[in-house]
Amino acid sequence: MTETEFIHRFEPATSAGSPPLLLLHGTGGDENDLLGLGKMISPGSALLSPRGRVLEHGMPRFFRRLAEGVFDEDDVRHRANELGEFVNAARQRYGIAAPVAVGFSNGANIAAALLLLKPDVLAGAILLRAMVPLSDPPTADLAGKPVLLLSGQGDPIVPASNSAKLAALLSQAGASVTHRVLPAGHQLSQADLTLARDWIGNVDAKAA
């Protein structure tokens, strides 16, 4: 496996008008985890779903952490760049446009890091239970890039202040951020699915 290669699944688009999705799983997930979610959120989209290359007690992740909620930020930067290179190579290989990331938990955090470190890689992002990935992020130009941030009111892992800080950070970089706090915990709910599907439908309509 090359430096930029990830074990991954790719499913071609079945509808020409649907944006490709980059599916990024949470801790302990794999390349199969979010395929069903991707199909429900945006039927017809091409799906690119890599497996995180870091193992924590045998569980795949997209970057190392020092403790729960405490990230190895050097590794975050390294892994985000690595993932960005993979996405760019996959775009050429499969002939797809810049994807919209759909990330859950650890996957949402690496997607947020990707937006800040390599903003050209993604067309937008759906961040499910995301945290601020970098304490000192670079100045990114996210002008008009659509981002949906869905947080859980009772999330024991992501403090409300942290998700609000992430929304402000991305907005200050120019992204068009929609932040909703749902009556949920860290796990996803039906409301997440409904909001994500409606949001990407609107983004898709504007792009068209």
Distance CA(132)–CA(45), nearest Å, equals 28
Tell me which of 33, 42, 151, 155 is the catalytic residue.
Answer: 155
Tell me which of 105, 151, 163, 192 is the catalytic residue.
Answer: 105
Distance CA(47)–CA(134), nearest Å, equals 27
75 as an active site residue: the answer is no
Contacts of 189 (CB under 8 A, 6+ apart): 152, 182
Phi/psi at 135 (5° precision): -75, -25
33 as an active site residue: the answer is no
**How far is CA 55 from its chain centroid?**
19
Output DSSP code: residue 98: P
Distance CA(204)–CA(25), nearest Å, equals 23
Tell me which of 171, 176, 186, 204 is the catalytic residue.
Answer: 186
136 as an active site residue: the answer is no
Q: Nearest 5 degrees, angle CA 178-CA 83-CA 57?
A: 95
Tokens of residue 206, six digits: 């504007």
Active site residues: 105, 155, 186
